[in-house]
Structure 1
Amino acid sequence: MALIHLIYVSTAFREPGTDDLDRILESAIRRNTALNVTGMLLYADGSFMQVLEGEAAAVDEVFARVENDARHTGIFLIERAPIDERSFDTWSMGFKRLAAREAAAHPAYAPFFERGFDAARIGAHPGLAFDMLIDFSRRQRAIPPG
């Protein structure tokens, strides 16, 4: 079966608290595990950036659920492309909450998420979103697949 990855940015309808983020992550893990979808979720200042990877039908199903989720607005698809192998294959869903201090510590990325993720600016630089997700995945909260 052909694998794809899909990367998107969205804005939270309202600023989520820690409990809200935990519920989002728990739900993502449960649903992604059932569909054999892996990935990474970044959160910064009211915005999300996520990569989903797996078989196209499964990834598209997860993304359709995101698009219909009232907790998200301004969903911006950055990339949907075939991949040879998974980059986040050891996680049902990795998670990293980025603080302003961390943004400042990464000068190459900081301009792209000064006030949440700037989807248009990130999307205008091919490969940038994926590079950010990989880089921040090294310092994240990993949840092993089911």
Structure 2
Amino acid sequence: MDPAFLQLAYISRATEPFEEDELFQLIDHSQKSNKARGLSGMLVYNSGYFLQLLEGPAPTVEALMEKIGRDPRHVEIKRVFEKRGAQPIFGSWYMAYKNLSTFKPALRQRVEALIVQLAGKPKVESPEEFMKVLQMMRQEF
């Protein structure tokens, strides 16, 4: 395990609702940008909230988080999970995205509940459960 490798998840609230075409533009830009930076991850957008996992070299992930923190499209940005030295979940997926409505119902309900929980708490309560949900999401992509 590489201690310089960082997995970081955050949740934020969109300042304005995202239309589907705006979301796809964001995903396209993120995929190109993340590929150039050597990052991978996934994004979920639901009910005005973003849940994103970023994976890659710690300084690069931290720099991107600073940029996200200045992005006027986000407010209430909270880091909810950080793990160093982990194996990447999304590997060569520079920014995986799938509409939450297309997930299997049980997983969709878990992810929706997770977003509601994280919106009101400073961190994930169970990192193991959070990782399990991420792994399940990975299988849906």
TM-score normalised by L of structure 2: 0.83
User: Does residue 128 of the first structure (1) align with residue 129 of the second (2)?
Assistant: yes
Check the 8 A contact 1:4/1:56 in 2, yes or no. Answer: yes
Equivalent-residue separation in structure 2 for 1:111 and 1:78 (angstroms): 15
Verify: 1:118 aligned to 2:106, yes or no.
no
Aligned partners of 1:60 and 1:121: how far apart in 2?
A: 18
Change (3 A) 1:111 1:42: closer
Matches within 5 A, 1:70-81: 70-81=72-83
Whether the 8 Å CA contact 1:122–1:129 is kept in 2: the answer is: no
Question: Can you give the 5+ residue segments of structure 1 that lack an aligned partner in the other structure?
Answer: 141-146
| Structure 1 contact 3–56 (Cα < 8 Å) conserved | yes
Deviation at 1:98, TM superposition (A): 1.1
Q: Comparing both structures, which one devotes a greater share of its residues to helix?
A: 2
Give the SS at the match of 2:65.
helix
**Contact 1:7/1:129 (CA < 8 Å) preserved in 2?**
no
Q: Which runs of 4+ in 1 moved over 3 A?
A: 101-104
Superposed, which structure 2 residues align to 1:90-105 within 5 Å? 90-99=92-101, 102=103, 104-105=105-106
Amino acid at match of 2:61: V
Conserved? CA contact 2:14–2:75, under 8 Å: yes
Unaligned runs of 5+ in 2: none
Does 83-92 or 57-66 show the bigger shift?
83-92
Q: 1:107 deviation in Å?
A: 8.0
Alignment-mate amino acid for residue 133 of structure 1: L
Whole-Å Cα distance in 1 between the matches of residues 37 and 108 of structure 2? 36
Separation of aligned partners in 2, 1:112 and 1:121: 15
Question: What is the DSSP-based 3-state SS (H/G/I as helix, E as strand, rest coil) of the residue aligned with 2:55?
Answer: strand
Alignment size in residue pairs = 137
Q: Distance in 2 between matches of 1:63 and 1:110?
A: 22
Structure 1 residues 54 and 102, CA, compared in 2 at 3 Å: closer, same or farther?
closer
Structure 2 CA distance for aligned equivalents of residues 130 and 43 of structure 1? 18
1:27 is aligned with what amino acid? H
Q: Once the two structures are aligned, what percentage of the paired residues are identical?
A: 24
